[in-house]
Amino acid sequence: MKSPFNWRRTVLGLAAAGLIGQCSAFSFGAEDAVVIAPPALDETTQAHSEIAVFAGGCFWGVQGVFQHVKGVKKAVSGYAGGAANTARYERVSEGDTGHAESVEVTFDPTQVSYGTLLQIYFSVAHNPTELNRQGPDSGTQYRSAIFVENSEQQRVAQAYIAQLDAAHSFNKPIVTKLETYNGFYPAEEEHQDFLTEHPTYPYIVINDLPKVAQLKQLYPNRYQEKPVLVKAGM
C-alpha cells in the first residue's frame, strides 16, 4: 500500500536538508484551544495511579501537553489499536495497521482526575472535530480516539462527549471514538520527549508548542513548568 503524504516527515526532511529556515515557510499551524466546561460526571476512585490512553494526531504534541500537567507521572508516545507486530513508526505511517499514534498517560487521580485529563485532551491537546486527521497529518493513524481502560472511563468519556455536543462547545460535532483498550506499544526512543528535545523543529514550533502555551494560559493551576520526561526515568 502506498504511504499517504506525511507533512510531518516532509517538514523535517526539508529542515534537515536546509531547504527551509523558518516556520513561516508553511501556512498551516496549531488551532486555537477551545474553552470548554469541565465534565459534569467524573470518575470516583481512591487509587493513586491510573492509566489513560489518548490518540489525537501526532503523538509529539499530545505527549508534550500531558507532560506539563500536574498529577501526571508519565506520558509515553506509542501505538494503540493494532497488533504488536505492526507497532512500528514506519509501518503505522502506512495507515492500514489499525494503530493510532497515541499517548499512554499514567496519572495520580488524587491530584488530577480522569475528567480533567479529558477536558485538557478535548480543549488543548487536539481538535476533536477533525476526522482521521489533525492539522497537516492525515490518515486513520492520526484519528481522534480514547482507548478506555475500564467501564468507568467509558462512562465518563461517553457522558462528556454528549455534554460537549449538547452544549455546542465546538462548531462541528465531535468525532472522537471510544475504542476498547487492547494493548499499548511504546514508540521508538527517538519519538519520546520529542517536543522537549527538539523545540526548534518547524513542525514542533508551528503545531505543538502553541498547545503547551495554551495549556499554561487556560489551565494555570494544572500546568507545571518542568515536564515529566520519559528518558529521565530510563
> Is the confidence at residue 7, as pLDDT, over 50?
no
Catalytic residues: 58
Polymer length of the chain: 234
* Fold (topology level) of 49-233: Peptide Methionine Sulfoxide Reductase; Chain A (3.30.1060)
* Percent share of the chain, pLDDT over 90: 82
pTM for this entry = 0.88
> Is the confidence at residue 12, as pLDDT, over 70?
no
pLDDT tens-digit profile of 163-172? 999 999 999 9
Task: State the CB neighbour count (10 A cutoff) for residue 51.
Answer: 17
Measuring CA to CA, how many Å separate 230 from each of 78, 84, 120, 188, 225?
A: 12, 21, 20, 12, 16
Closest CA to 6 of 205, 142, 194: 142
Residues 6+ away with beta carbon under 8 Å from 136: 7, 8, 11, 26, 28, 203, 207
Residue 80, SS3?
Answer: strand
pLDDT tens-digit profile of 87-118? 999 999 999 999 999 999 999 999 999 999 99
Distance of CA 126 to the CA centre of its chain: 6
- Could you tell me which residue, 232 or 200, shows the higher pLDDT? 200
pLDDT tens-digit profile of 19-30? 332 222 333 456
Residue 180 CB burial class (10 angstroms; 0-12, 13-18, ≥19): exposed
> Is the confidence at residue 158, as pLDDT, over 60?
yes
